[in-house]
Structure formats: C-alpha cells, structure tokens
Structure 1
C-alpha cells in the first residue's frame, strides 16, 4: 500500500472488521516466534472417535468468540466453487452465477507495439493509440512505492512503460527501460504459448492433424459395431466384423500407435499431485504449490472445442511455468471423440512435450457441473463407456510419446456406481497410463465424505488384474502397470499417508486440501502438522501476488487480474484454522468451525471470511484498489464494489 506499512493496514482492516461484527483482534506474539513452528502436535490427537462433535471443528475455549447473530453470518463457502459447480440450491444461497469482471481502462491508451520503449507501429499515423511517451506517462496514476516485483524477479518488466512501478526500471532522461541481462538469462519462463500465426491457422481450421484423420474413421467404425453389438442376436457377428476391421485398418496405418509402455515414462508412485482446479488452479497458484513441494500439477480443465478454434482465453489454460517442469499435465474435456482426438494432437504438436513440457494429457470424466454434463462431457462419459474407450484409444494414438491419463468419479448416481467395471475395461484396453478415481458420484458433488473403501476396492481390482496376467500373452505381459490414484477429502498429511499405505493406491491427488493450505505438500514430506505462523502465511500470499504479477503483468489490467484471483484464493485459504488453536486433531475438511480469533491480529485477519478483509490484504502487495476494479465472489452477500 502506498505510504502505508503492513501493521497500519492490519489496524485499518481490523477497524472495518469491528464495524461488521467480525472477530476482535487479540494481542499475542506467540504465533510470531522466531522458530518455524514446525511442531509435531501429537499431544493433541483425539484419543477416541466420539471426542469430536459431528461436523464441528473443535477449537480451544480461549480462542472461541460469542455466537454471532444470524444477520452477521456470511454465506457459507461452497465446495463446488473449486470446480465451478452449479446446483439449484445455489440460487437459494444467492450465487453470482454470471459473474463479469470489468477491465481496467487507461485515460490515454498507449500503443502496445511501443510499450517496450522501442520498435515501430505498423499502422503509423493511422494508429488510434497514443505514441507520445511523455504524454502517456504524465497521464498515468502515480507510480506505486517500491521496486517492480517482476523486474526484481526476472531482470526486466514485460509490461514496459505501462508498469505501475515504472520508476524502478525506467531512466526518464534517457528514455530507456532497464534490463538486468544476467538475471534475465537465468530467470524461469512460461511455456506452451502459441503465436498469433498458429492461432490464426486454428481459427481458419487449417491446422494439420494427420494422425487424427487416420484414426477417426476407425473410431467411427467401432461406434457402428458397438451399436450392432447392443443387439444380442447380432453380437457374435459384430465381434467377428470388429476383428476383421482391426486387421484391415492396421494395414492402412503409416506408423503403429504407441502403447503406454512405449511412451514417456510416467512415475506417479507416491507422487504429491495437485488436482486440476477451476479458477483457483491458475499458473501462479500451481507455482506456489510447487514451491511448497508438489511433484505433479495439472492445468485448469480446458474445453477441447475452444482449443481447436484457437480461443485465446482457452489457450491460456495449458500455459505453464518452467518451475512446473517436469511434472505438468494438461486436462481437457470433450463430448465427442473427434474433439478430444484433434485437441490432443494439436496440444502435443503446438506445445513443448515430454521431459521439457507436457508430461501427459488428462481426460476429464468427473466434472459434475451441469453445463459440462449436459453437453455429454465430463462425468456424462461415465454412462457412455464405449464412447469413452473410443476417445481414449484415439487420444493414445495421436499423442505420440506423451501418455494419456483419465480422471473419473464413482458414477453419475449414488445408487449405481460403475467405476469398478469401467476401470477394468480401461486397464484391459491398455490406452491409459494412469487412472484417478474421485470417491464420490456426480450426484454427490461434495456434500458427503468421499468413499475410500470403494476407491480401495477398485484399486484392488487393478492390482489383481496385473497379478493374474497370462504369461503367454506377450502383449499383456509387456504393458506397463497403470498407475491408480485416489482423490477426495485429503486435508492433512495423515489422510495422504493413510491412503497410500492402507487403500491400495499409488498416490493421492489433492484438491481442496491444497486450496485451504498449500503447504500440505510440506506436511506430507515432514509427516507432521506444520503450525505456520501468520507472518509465514502472509509471506505465502506475497509470493502468490508476485507470481501473479509475473503472469498477468504489472500494468493496471494485470494488477486487477492478480487482485481478483488473489481474492479467489483467499476465499479458500481463510477457511484454514491454525492447528495451534485446535483442540482435536486431525482436522476434517467437512467440519465447520465456530467463530474464533487468532493468536494475534494478523492471524485473525487471515481467517476472516469478509471480502473487505481480502481486499485489504491484497492492498499490502498490489497497492490501493483502482477505481476500475470490481470483485464479485461466488456469493452475492460478499460482492465488492468500489466506492464513489
């Protein structure tokens, strides 16, 4: 914040919180001790199961606050937010379903081609944007205090003259932007970008997909055989025809498809995996998780059709940072085989792959949101096993040496889980290198505890299938083991280790547990709870903000974007209850705490569910809120509008 210290920001925020009946600050320095607070709090473990009230987080009495009036209780967080869920009850809760975010507008719009202080505009005098550097700089708001975080990190600022910290890397007298060549040469970079020419080719539907053109007719023929095979009287004939079709098609292939065993090795044994997450699972957040020790990260779910159409916003999703390499996968969703197959070939052709880029392409078959489900994508594929097999077979053929993986749920309905049969089919077909099973149905969303017994039973099926392989079947024998990953309700290191040691899975994919506390990956390595101090958590937020500025830019538009996604992140991280004030461990992700106060003012602030506190926290690192900024959280009761 310009001319304001962090402590002054906290005092101002606490003042706002008091006016809204939020927790009063407590003076305590216990949580800011010089040690890292990496305590193994075994003394607070619950000795019996009935020591915990169902659905309630047990907090030490000295940190509890009086029960608030109903009018002061903010909307409860909705766990569908992480995957942009959409249910009827959300209307009753007052959801902002159609959120729109205003873009920052400059008083004087400067020509983009000249923002780096050099170059020429191809439109010349006909350009509608400003070319006069001095006039543009004089029209900008006053620079923010301090050094440009991006220049400090990578040795130059891509936003150039539009940067809000311009004074720290611009020599006005010489009209020159500074560059630290040594730091620039050693800095990380973002990969999986496509240039404008490639984007234009995609938009004109002229991007070459030769492998897809070969495999799609075969997949169509399989569809016809599947339709015939549904008729019991013609099933035997269909099976014979299918064998003949496979032999005929094999002769037409220019090169045979890769088996998973022939592709790049995918090692997920006890890997710490961050799940694909909508909105919050952006590049800066993934970088933060890698900083805390995650081994594998996945992009936000990208829709196959917009990828094929060259959509700029959709192509921003597979973008990754070199700090995520190796161990970065791209997740896609598609309702039709041709969409998934062509999108996979485009991604593996246009992006860096293998050890230096995309490690696998993941097909989303678990997304529960209505928009995706009704289109026939996401969890809808669970009810269309034959179509799913065709999609994965085609993806495996066109992806070259890049493995194909899949993420599924137990089924679409609570009463009819079908993941066991589906997983057996997937393993038999041999087209996937890894299967992730979320222990809930599509109908359940996030309303109940994940069924880890079902996950374990499904994992055992995979294990038994490999132990019972026919040693005479060379093709089966040479296939590499399919990794089986569990997913659901992993909120602590105990949850993670219990799953990998007792439930037959190779690893666990973490979603909401990482949203609430990204240092869960550190806890897994340490095998203990880490009582992060408020100062350490504030440093984590600072790091996210700086990663965000590198990604979205340091101009007003980039800062607004960074602030918005920081607030989205804080809407989850504010749910974290410090383990040092818990009365019973381990914490449960489904439990909700009563009103509590932290061990100092900053800890109280970081636990606030008031959107105004999130804005104040963002101002510590991104400066005062610009008049063009507006923030509309998932809940209307939390909506933010600028004053004046």
Structure 2
C-alpha cells in the first residue's frame, strides 16, 4: 500500500446512537458518560488507549440507519427521515434512493470482433459502419495506462476473454508478435473447477421474451390452481370444474421424497442479500466456510418474460453447488409456476428454489408480494404447491417473518398451515415483523417456539407409517447473528436446525471460521485486506478485466465496504461481544491500515479499491446507499 494512501485524512469512525447525543449550537456532540458507566448500553466497549477525544466543531459524530434493505430490491426501500440532517454539523439520514448507478463507457470502444488479433471475426455491421472502432492502434493509444501486476482473469483461467481491452494487457500480450498469450495448463484445470454455471441459453431467453417457451407443466398446473380461487361461479359449478381439472391434471413426475436432498442441519448459511449478495461475494463466502448461499431475490414476472437482468441473478460459481438456492418473489401463482418451471429447465446447478414471503418494503408489499403473503396464507399455499409441481427434482423452500404487524405475529399459524398443506423442504423465519424492520432485536424466543412446532410435525411424520415418502422439514432462524456465540445459542434451541446470517457475514465475512473454531478471531488489518483482495479478484473474473468490468467491480466492492468497514477488531475491544446496534465512540486502529479500513467515508472505500483495481478514473462515480456515509471528512 502506498504512503499516499495512508497519509490521506481518514474520516472519524462510528460513535454512539442518537439517544446518546445532545444538540448544542447546531453541532451534534457526544454526551460524556460517567467513568463508572464508560460503556453504557448502546456503546461498544473499546479500550481507552484506542479512543479519540471529541474535538468541538468537527463532524466526529456519525449516525447510521439500521434499515439495511438487505432483502429489498436496489434502492426500493423506504426513505429515511432527513429532517435532522439539514443543519450545520448534523448528519443526513436515510437512503440515497435516486443515486445514479450507471457507469460511463470508454470514449473509443473496440469492436468485439478484433479483441484477439489471431482470431479476428467478421463484423456484421462492417468496419465502416460499426459504431466501435476496428483500428487497434488507435484504441490502444486511447487506453489508460495498464494496471500493474498480473491480470486476475489470466491467472485464474489461463487466458483473458477481454483480449486487447484488458487493463492488465501487458501481462498476457506479446506486443512484438501482436499475440495474446494463453496458458494451456491453467485453461484445462479451469475447465474442471473454475467456471460459472446456470447461464440461461440465449435462444431459450429469446423464446421467453417472444412468449414461445414451452411451459408444458405450467399449462396443466395453472388451470387447476385457478379453479381453487374461482368465486364468481355457483358453488356446484365451481366444484364440478375443480374436479374436472383435477382429473385432467397429470401429477408432477417428482414426489417430495424423490427431489434433491437438502441437509440444512448445522449448515452455515448466507442469507439472500440484494446488491451486496452478488456472485463474487458468495464465492468469497464459500472460501470462508459457508455451506449454503442464495441468489439475490429475483422477481418472477421478469423471469417469465426472459429479462436479461433477472436471468443474471441465478448465475453461480461452480464452488457454490451443491448448496446454492435461487430466491424468487411474486404475488401470483401463475407467475411462480412459470418462473419455477423455467428455472428448473434452464439451470443446471440449483439446490433449491426459495419463495420470499418476508421482504418488508412497501413497493412489493402493496403488490401482494414478499411479507404481504403472510396475510394471505391460502395464496401462499397455492404458490408453494404450484412451485413444487413445476420444479422437477428441485425442492422448494420458504422464507417468512414473524408477521407483518408488531404485536400481531401470525408466523406460527402460517408455519402450521404450510406444514400441513404443502411439501416444502425447509422454512426460514426472520425474527422480526415487517413493521419492526431492523428497529428492534430479533425475537429468538418466538423463533424457538415455531421451531418446536416444526419439531413436533417432523416427529409425528416419522411415527406415521403412511408418510414413508415424506422427508423432515428443516427449520432455520434468521436475525442478529454476529458471532459464534449467537450462532451456537440459536442452534441449541429445540427444532432450530441452523441460522441464516445476513449483516453478520457482511461486516465479518469470516464469521463461519469463528463458528468452526468456537472462538473470536482477531483478524489483523493485513488479513482483512487479503479478504478484500480475494473479493476484487473474484469480481474481475465475474465482470471482466476491461474498463467497464473494473468499474462494476469497483462499484460493488464499495457496496461491500459499506458494511465491511463497520467491523470493530477484537484486539481493541475491552470485552466481548459487541452487537451491531452498539456504536463505538471515535477510535483509531492499531496501525494506519486498520484505521483506514474502518473509515466511514466512501472516498476512503474508493481509495481501498485502488489497491487492487488500479487508480480510479475521473468518469467513475459512486454514491453510497446511506446518506450517513456521504460526507466531507475533516482534516
């Protein structure tokens, strides 16, 4: 790391929550705590030698939004209150909902037909009419200087698909011979264990877009499910129609016991995470001990319509399988059935298809999706049964919350109905209601009560001789798991098979290493930097080593750092554990790198990406999702 990077002013690090502040002359000042109560509730216990005294007149008090939107679509969450962030010295709050995420393309772009000088292809537009240049010399002269080091893609798979557009071109290009270098040995090894899967066929997606795809199973299942919700026909007529459709329906070829086996007992599970839960992050988590990963939530309707953006979500790295699940959201059974059938037919490495019935955001809730399904259990049951009929040998699972309204939890009742009326392979419960969001701690007592319901159901099935073809239903808890102690306490509850970890795995990606070791691991700043390096390499392998790929990798790495920077090292803590809702006072690290990694300023996150992705260009832009991270630090 360069001296310039370490000398750059680093923003003050996190401090206590809003409840521990007082406002004086337009400034937000930390309220001093009595010596005998140095680490009051809500303040992380940091050793005195690492604390930085408050400097009046500086923005050294940072507030954070607890609502992370981890199960939400990008920027679709509710707007946080911004009223207290408009005065001098006050921090903005809420989300930057309208941030521009698009990156600029190169001024001079090289046509893909001339990427490899030895394998020039015919351009369908012709060199004279093509919007991109065919003049290699002109393009190479316009490129920014190469990034130092070896191309991560070339190192990983033995060649670089970006060809002449690669920003590490010098590492695999013989300029004198005008020839791209290829390592045949690495290429052969990469074919066996280093490639991405679940890439939908272009022709199949085109058929979906033109509504020509053969939904053979869906066309039989949907009319049957439709008959179950007909209300405008006389009762006798409705019953006759239902019987007719039931007789015409041919049962799906796979029974519950014949589907792929799931084993979530004590499994180390990473939650579906929108934006940050991309393929490079999930691949990183597999290297750090995760057993199960999930795609970002896909909306069923765009999946059925063959939208490229939605079909990018089921893509996974080979290392994720088995143990990779695809999560979908919908409010209509016909969408769920068709999306499930398409996923089953067009993907090759999917262990489960998960129905999201817990997403809390208004946009989906008003459409009847996400947590709104908990208020309509009959509809949820129809969707789950339809998915099971269309999923082939892929098991169907469910994720829910405790309920939608605080004090009116119906999660237990929903679970009972799902167990009795469907063939789901697993149920995950987030320990908060939709109304709570992240404002309160997850209710693990309630999760435990529901776990006992699932345990009793499984025991009854084992004793029932007529249910020999069924399998036990796994039950997973979710919420507030930030260390190995939280994980162990959760899985010791009766009926709870495992824990699905979300923010805990973003702030501390090595959490499953701690679970395995049964102790806190004091990762040094250098070790944490190596984790970021691995992520950067995976990101370049996924998005590409050209200018556009680097911009994508840098943007998503900044999204990752928006959580990663919140980690408080074990070595500076006075006692353990620290919870996520405990904000630290201003602190400094044990070295300059540790202080930099804890910076709350997004400009420092960009600076960190430069260590692996080269110097940032003037046309790159990044706006943090949360306004509290977008401020000018004081020198």
- Deviation string for 1:401-420 (max 9, x for gaps)? 00000100011101211111
Report 1 or 2 for greater relative contact order, CA contacts < 8 Å, sequence distance ≥ 6.
Answer: 1
For the 8 Å contact 1:149–1:549, the answer to whether it is kept is: yes
1:199 aligned onto 2:205: yes
1:388 aligned onto 2:375: no
TM-score, length-scaled by structure 1? 0.87
1:208 aligned onto 2:211: no
For the 8 Å contact 2:329–2:369, the answer to whether it is kept is: yes
1:160 aligned onto 2:152: no
1:522 aligned onto 2:522: no
- Deviation string for 1:250-299 (max 9, x for gaps)? 43234445332221111111100000001110111001100000000000
Match of 2:228 among 218, 222, 225: 222
SS in 1 for 2:413: helix
Alpha-carbon distance, 1:177 to partner: 1.2
Structure 2 distance, partners of 1:472, 1:544, is: 48
Match of 1:142 among 142, 145, 148: 145
In terms of mean alpha carbon deviation, does 545-554 or 71-80 score higher? 71-80
Structure 2 distance, partners of 1:78, 1:385, is: 29
For the 8 Å contact 1:434–1:482, the answer to whether it is kept is: yes
Structure 1 distance, partners of 2:321, 2:295, is: 13
Q: 1:320 to 1:21 in 2, by over 3 A?
A: closer
1:190 aligned onto 2:196: yes
Structure 1 distance, partners of 2:208, 2:356, is: 23
SS in 2 for 1:343: helix
Q: Which residue of 1 aligns with 2:358?
A: 366
Q: Which residue of 2 aligns with 1:333?
A: 329
Structure 2 distance, partners of 1:640, 1:106, is: 29
Taking the TM superposition and a 5 Å limit, the aligned residue runs for 1:158-557 are 158-187=161-190, 188-224=194-230, 248-256=244-252, 258-352=254-348, 357-469=349-461, 474=466, 476-557=467-548
For the 8 Å contact 1:287–1:324, the answer to whether it is kept is: yes
Alpha-carbon distance, 1:94 to partner: 4.9
- Deviation string for 1:25-48 (max 9, x for gaps)? xxxxxxxxxxxxxxxxxxxxxxxx
Q: Which residue of 2 aligns with 1:563?
A: 554
Alpha-carbon distance, 1:375 to partner: 1.4
Structure 2 distance, partners of 1:264, 1:87, is: 38
Alpha-carbon distance, 1:478 to partner: 2.8
For the 8 Å contact 1:102–1:629, the answer to whether it is kept is: no
1:633 aligned onto 2:624: yes
1:76 aligned onto 2:64: yes
SS in 2 for 1:448: coil
1:587 aligned onto 2:575: no
For the 8 Å contact 1:214–1:253, the answer to whether it is kept is: yes
For the 8 Å contact 2:304–2:338, the answer to whether it is kept is: yes
Alpha-carbon distance, 1:7 to partner: 4.0
For the 8 Å contact 1:104–1:556, the answer to whether it is kept is: no
Structure 1 distance, partners of 2:435, 2:270, is: 23
1:106 aligned onto 2:93: no
- Deviation string for 1:492-529 (max 9, x for gaps)? 01111111113430111000100100000111111111
In terms of mean alpha carbon deviation, does 278-287 or 497-506 score higher? 497-506
Q: Which residue of 2 aligns with 1:32?
A: none
For the 8 Å contact 1:366–1:379, the answer to whether it is kept is: yes
1:97 aligned onto 2:97: yes
Alpha-carbon distance, 1:77 to partner: 4.3
Structure 1 distance, partners of 2:38, 2:82, is: 36
Structure 1 distance, partners of 2:222, 2:618, is: 51
SS in 2 for 1:569: helix
Structure 2 distance, partners of 1:516, 1:110, is: 39
Taking the TM superposition and a 5 Å limit, the aligned residue runs for 1:8-87 are 8-13=3-8, 16-17=9-10, 53-69=40-56, 71-84=59-72, 86-87=77-78
Q: Which residue of 1 aligns with 2:126?
A: 124
For the 8 Å contact 1:298–1:328, the answer to whether it is kept is: yes
Structure 2 distance, partners of 1:136, 1:89, is: 45
In terms of mean alpha carbon deviation, does 168-177 or 403-412 score higher? 168-177
Q: How many pairs align?
A: 591
- Deviation string for 1:41-66 (max 9, x for gaps)? xxxxxxxxx99632111111111111
In terms of mean alpha carbon deviation, does 364-373 or 247-256 score higher? 247-256
Structure 2 distance, partners of 1:296, 1:22, is: 33
For the 8 Å contact 1:439–1:487, the answer to whether it is kept is: yes
Query: More helix by proportion, 1 or 2?
Result: 1
Q: 1:311 to 1:12 in 2, by over 3 A?
A: farther
Structure 2 distance, partners of 1:224, 1:52, is: 60
Q: 1:434 to 1:22 in 2, by over 3 A?
A: closer
Q: 1:9 to 1:375 in 2, by over 3 A?
A: farther
Alpha-carbon distance, 1:68 to partner: 5.0
Structure 2 distance, partners of 1:407, 1:540, is: 29
Q: 1:62 to 1:12 in 2, by over 3 A?
A: closer
Alpha-carbon distance, 1:246 to partner: 6.5
Structure 2 distance, partners of 1:110, 1:62, is: 55
Alpha-carbon distance, 1:601 to partner: 1.1
Q: 1:109 to 1:472 in 2, by over 3 A?
A: closer
SS in 2 for 1:408: strand
Structure 2 distance, partners of 1:182, 1:640, is: 49
Q: 1:575 to 1:638 in 2, by over 3 A?
A: closer
Q: Which residue of 1 aligns with 2:567?
A: 576
TM-score, length-scaled by structure 2? 0.89
